A and B are shown apart, each in its own frame.
Chain A
C-alpha cells in the first residue's frame, strides 16, 4: 500500500516527460484515426455549402501564435472550402489582435500555393487588416464597410477596382452571407449587434476551453455552427476529404497526438486517485 500511496505525489516532470513522448509518437510513426463529425461542425459545413452566388463571407481571423494550435486548423479548413467552391471572402481582425491578418495570410498563401494556384487576391479574397473597436466596428461594418476600412492590408483603396474587384460589390451587411469569427475567444458582440439587429448568421471557431460557454448560442440558433478546438478543425477536414489519406490540414495532423496526450492525462488522473484512496485507507 505504501507504494500505491506514493502515486499521488509523482514528480510533475515525469508526467511532462510522458506527455512529450506520447504526443511525439504519432508524429514519428504515421498514425491516422477516423473522426466522428459533431453536429456543430456539420452545420457550419452545410451552411457554407448553401452560400448563394453573389454573396461573400466575412472571416474575423483574430488569432496569433498564442492560439494557432487550434485556430490555424479552423481557418485553414474553412478557407480551403471557400477556395474550392469559389466563394469570395473578406478577412479582417476585429479588436483582439493586430497579428490576425498576417497569420491568415500565411494560411491562405500556403493553400493557394499548394492547392489553388489559379485563385487571385482581390478577386477570390481580400484582407482588410486589423481594426479597433468591438461593437462600434461591427456596427460600422454593417452600415458601410468603407467607413471602417479605407484601405486593405496591402494598401489598396477599397474603391480601387483594378486591384480589388471583389470589394466593388461589397458595401454593407446585406452583401455578407455569413460572419465566421475565429479566435481563442470570439467576441460575443457579433451576436447581439449583428445577428440580433440584422439577422446575419454568425459562426465561431474557438478554443476548446471557451466552447462550453458558446454551446448555448447553438441551441438557441444564434450561432449557425461552431468549430471547437483541434477537434472541430479535424472534423471539418473529414467533411472536406472523406478519404482519410487525402487529409493533411493542421487539425488532422494534431488530432491523433492530442488523443495520445489525453490518454496520458487520463492514466495520470486514475493513478492519482488510486494513490489518494490508498493513502486514505492507510490512515484508517
Chain B
C-alpha cells in the first residue's frame, strides 16, 4: 500500500472539519461536502457493480454464448440465454411509464413470490433454535442440563438463577403483549407491568449501545485529526 501523501491528509482533515461544522449550525460547506460524498458513493458503486458483479456474472457469459451461437451453435451457446435475465431486469424500468406499468408487475410478482418462499425457510431456520433454547430447566446443572435426566455435572445455583431470570423475562414480556383482553386480573396486571419494566431495561441497553457506537464513529475521526493530521500524541 502506498503511503498517504500530506495533501491527501490535509484534504481529509478539511472535509472532516467541514462535515463537523454542522454541529455549530447548518451551512453551505456542509451541504456541498454532503453532496460530493453522495456523488462519489453513487459513482463508485456503479463502477464496482459493473466490474465485479454484472460483467463477470452476466455480460461475459452472455457474450461468450452469443459468440458460440454465431459460430454455428458451438458448445456454450446456452450462455446466450442470459439475455432473457437482462430483459426481465429491464422490466423494472417500466415503473416510469404509466402506459406500460403493467410490464413491471411481472417482475415484481416474481420477486414477491421468491421472497415469500425464502422468508418461510429463513424464519423457520432462524427462529426454531431460538424457541427450542427458550425451554430451559429452572433447576439446572453447571452445563445447563436439567437436574433430572441431565449430565453428571454438579448442581449450579448460578445457572439455575440465570435460567429463572431468562424464562421469567420471556413469560412477563409475552404477557405484556397479550392485547386481546384487558389486564384486569391482578396476577396478569402485575406480570404485564413487570414485563414492561424489563422491556425498559432492554431499551436502556439499546440506548447505551447507541451512545457507544456514535462515540466510536467520532473517535475514529478525532484520532485521525489529532494523530495523522496534527501529529499530536
Contact = CB atoms under 8 A, between A and B. Distances in A.
- Do the two chains bind? yes
Interface stretch (A34-42, A167-175, A209-217): A209-217
A150 B56 contact: yes
B126 A188 contact: yes
Interface stretch (A45-53, A106-114, A236-244, A272-280): A106-114
A70 B233 contact: no
B186 interface: no
Contacts of B226: 24, 27-28
Interface of A: 13, 16, 19-20, 23-24, 27-30, 66-70, 72, 98-99, 105-106, 109-110, 113, 129-132, 135, 148-151, 153, 188-189, 191-193, 196-197, 207-212, 216, 219-222, 228-231, 250, 253-254, 257-258, 261-262, 265
A254 B227 CA distance: 12
Nearest to B208: A208
Contact of A189 (B45, B122, B223): B122
Interface stretch (B66-74, B85-93, B173-181, B211-219): B211-219
Contacts of A189: 122
Given A106-B1, A150-B57, A69 B49 contact: no
B217 A130 contact: no
Interface in B99-127: 118, 121-126
Given A208-B216, A209-B209, A27 B227 contact: yes
Contacts of A222: 126, 129-130
Contact of A20 (B126, B129, B222, B223): B222
B216 to A, nearest CB: 4
Contacts of B53: 130-132
B205 interface: yes
Nearest to A148: B57
Interface residues of B, number: 45
B213 A27 contact: no
A271 to B, nearest CB: 16
10 contacts: A20-B222, A27-B222, A28-B226, A98-B49, A129-B52, A196-B125, A208-B216, A221-B129, A229-B213, A254-B216
B39 to A, nearest CB: 15
B82 to A, nearest CB: 14
B219 A131 contact: no
Contact of B118 (A135, A151, A208): A135
A257 B52 contact: no
A220 B232 CA distance: 46
B54 to A, nearest CB: 8
A27 B233 contact: yes
A212 B133 contact: no
